[in-house]
Structure 1
Amino acid sequence: MKGNIVLIGGDARQIEMADYLQQKGMEVTLLGFDRWCSLRPGMKKAAGKADVDWETLDAVILPVSGIKPEQKVEAVFSENTLYVEESWFHRLKPECLIITGIRTEAADKLMTRINRSYTALMERNDTAIYNSVPTAEGVLLMAIQETEHTIHQSRTLVLGFGRTGQTIAGTFSAVGAYAKVGTSDPAETARAEAMGHDVFDLSRLNQAVSQADICINTIPSLILSENILIQIPAHTLIIDIASSPGGTDFEYAEKRGIRALQAPGLPGVTAPKTAGHILGKVILQLLKENDGKKEA
């Protein structure tokens, strides 16, 4: 498949994504990668916005972390702070895809002003399911590194049983942890019970945490609040993978001496190659679907 795409900023996942898409026939331009020197054949590194052929693009791909206030984007391979400019998007052809990782208020406002829509990859079922495996492996690695006991026979709570929670609970159970799932969603409860997990309602979270060795939160709202944390034993490890700002009162956890680790975006840290290829695969599917619409 042929196509012309630009990757604007990002982290190691974008490098692997670019490599994957280039191998699949895409012409790839990288903007905001001035400190990255290992350019693959078939890729072009833009020194600035003038080096991008905006009118010919089939997709604009923004970082997984999305567009931040003042239209800033993450760019770990850039010497300078990177901001997206509204004028870039006005030059795109109507059928060009705009793709980012997560939906943000800044992105919503920008798209409203330019009258365009965009796709948030992390909201898609396929992306979340693919990503759940490197996420679960990353959580397991953190648990092993940050505890003084084996994961085997540890009392582990998994809060939330969405696509990522399912894989985490299964992974910890597979290595012998006593994994219990906390959820108040009837569908999640039924799914967890059908998969053989012990389940408790989140209204009983204060009781459940009092016996936990490890507590893994996937719920993107304040669930491990002060009145819950006061029930947690000092040795308990909290790993919070929910989107920023997470679901834990980290300040209070620190006051109590509880180890509470915030770890959103784990695939990009522990398995950037796999994470990049996952995103590249989904982007390629979006491009194919978009081509089909143009031909219809």
Structure 2
Amino acid sequence: MNKDITFLVAGGDLRQVYTAKKLAENYKVYAAGFDNNIIDFGNAIYTDYKMQLPELVDYIVLPLPASINGVFINAPFCRNNIPISALAPLLKNGGTVFGGKIDPSTMKIFSKCGIDTVDYFEREELNILNAVPTAEGAVQIAMEEMATTIYGQKVLVTGFGRIAKVLVKILKGLGADVTITARKYSDLSWAEIYGCKAVHTSVLDDAISGYDLIFNTVPAVILDEKRLERIKSNTLVIDLASKPGGVDFDTAGRLGVKVVWALSLPGKVAPVTSGEIIACTILNILKERRYTDE
């Protein structure tokens, strides 16, 4: 263990627990933001929400998202609010704060203290690897919600980004008849290479009625009233897009279309993997900084 480098992992859900455990395999790690020490933090040292540490730390790791309101740490497993401003005095000079989806208010609190913040959610490797638990979680939801197998079903996937690419591999492996809809012709070409049918978004209105299952990955309202009115009454829609989502939810409810808005799937279905991905991403950043300094 390298005791010369210290981390404080503060707040968050189970992903943060496994982030702390992974980092603690090689570094000295304190973990805070959970109401009791029943949780197994591995080699990490549990401390309560007051975070009375015996030493200053080199790095602080905040959750994803780092804060809900820009004032307190996002700590759903802690009954007490933990002010973001309480973290600055815990850092050594030159220390860094890592966090996911760091909002401007949180960033401002640290910048006033001259503390560097790094948003690990902006890292490409994290988003690529996170696509795996997201896609697996989406398929799990489909299996739980549908009264049929995925095998043989006509499935539409909107968009062809990271999540869609992983999702397609799983769906094709399960024997689904998969169609991709996208605006970019390059995406449609890649979809065909992946063994899928391809429909340009401009003609989706005429094609959307033929699917049993729809996965949306586009963070814009692509399933509007006109399209929702045309899908089959028993079609299941699983929205994987971040807020505001890709479905007109009010209209879907009025029409009786079943929609599952599946947010933050990595933390829900695979917190161990997701936490380890965060830890490895942070270590990648530190390696890059070390090489740059050299």
Q: Which amino acid aligns with 1:258?
A: V
C-alpha separation in 1, matches of 2:288 and 2:77:
31
Report the 3-state secondary structure (helix = DSSP H, G, I; strand = E; otherwise coil) of the residue aligned with 2:210. Answer: coil
Check whether the contact 1:67–1:106 (CA below 8 A) recurs between aligned residues. Answer: no
Equivalent position of 2:117 in the other structure: 118
Alignment of 1:146 with 2:148, yes or no, is: no
Equivalent position of 1:68 in the other structure: 68
Structure 1 residues 108 and 43: CA distance shift in structure 2, 3 A = closer
Equivalent position of 1:44 in the other structure: 45
Q: In terms of mean alpha carbon deviation, does 265-274 or 94-103 score higher? A: 94-103
The percent of aligned pairs where both chains have the same amino acid is: 30
Q: Which amino acid aligns with 2:214?
A: C
Report the CA distance between 1:113 and its aligned residue.
4.6
Check whether the contact 2:70–2:103 (CA below 8 A) recurs between aligned residues. Answer: no
Q: In terms of mean alpha carbon deviation, does 32-41 or 241-250 score higher? A: 32-41
Query: Deviation string for 1:37-76 (max 9, x for gaps)?
Result: 234453222324451468x423221111232224233212
Q: In terms of mean alpha carbon deviation, does 162-171 or 275-284 score higher? A: 275-284
Equivalent position of 1:165 in the other structure: 164
Equivalent position of 1:84 in the other structure: 84
C-alpha separation in 2, matches of 1:110 and 1:186:
43
Report the CA distance between 1:185 and its aligned residue.
2.3
Normalised to the residue count of structure 1, the TM-score between the two structures is 0.89
Q: Which runs of 5+ in 1 are unaligned?
A: none
Q: Which amino acid aligns with 2:80?
A: N
Equivalent position of 2:226 in the other structure: 227
Report the CA distance between 1:108 and its aligned residue.
4.8
Report the CA distance between 1:26 and its aligned residue.
1.5
Q: Which runs of 5+ in 2 are unaligned?
A: none
C-alpha separation in 2, matches of 1:280 and 1:267:
14
Report the 3-state secondary structure (helix = DSSP H, G, I; strand = E; otherwise coil) of the residue aligned with 2:215. Answer: strand
Check whether the contact 2:180–2:198 (CA below 8 A) recurs between aligned residues. Answer: yes
C-alpha separation in 2, matches of 1:171 and 1:290:
36
Alignment of 1:33 with 2:39, yes or no, is: no
Equivalent position of 1:135 in the other structure: 134
Structure 1 residues 108 and 38: CA distance shift in structure 2, 3 A = closer
Normalised to the residue count of structure 2, the TM-score between the two structures is 0.89
Check whether the contact 1:90–1:114 (CA below 8 A) recurs between aligned residues. Answer: no
Structure 1 residues 58 and 277: CA distance shift in structure 2, 3 A = same
Report the 3-state secondary structure (helix = DSSP H, G, I; strand = E; otherwise coil) of the residue aligned with 1:69. Answer: coil
Report the CA distance between 1:161 and its aligned residue.
0.8
Structure 1 residues 103 and 197: CA distance shift in structure 2, 3 A = farther
Report the 3-state secondary structure (helix = DSSP H, G, I; strand = E; otherwise coil) of the residue aligned with 1:239. Answer: strand
Equivalent position of 2:257 in the other structure: 258
Alignment of 1:155 with 2:154, yes or no, is: yes
CA RMSD of superposed structures (Å): 2.3
Check whether the contact 2:152–2:176 (CA below 8 A) recurs between aligned residues. Answer: yes
Report the 3-state secondary structure (helix = DSSP H, G, I; strand = E; otherwise coil) of the residue aligned with 1:118. Answer: strand
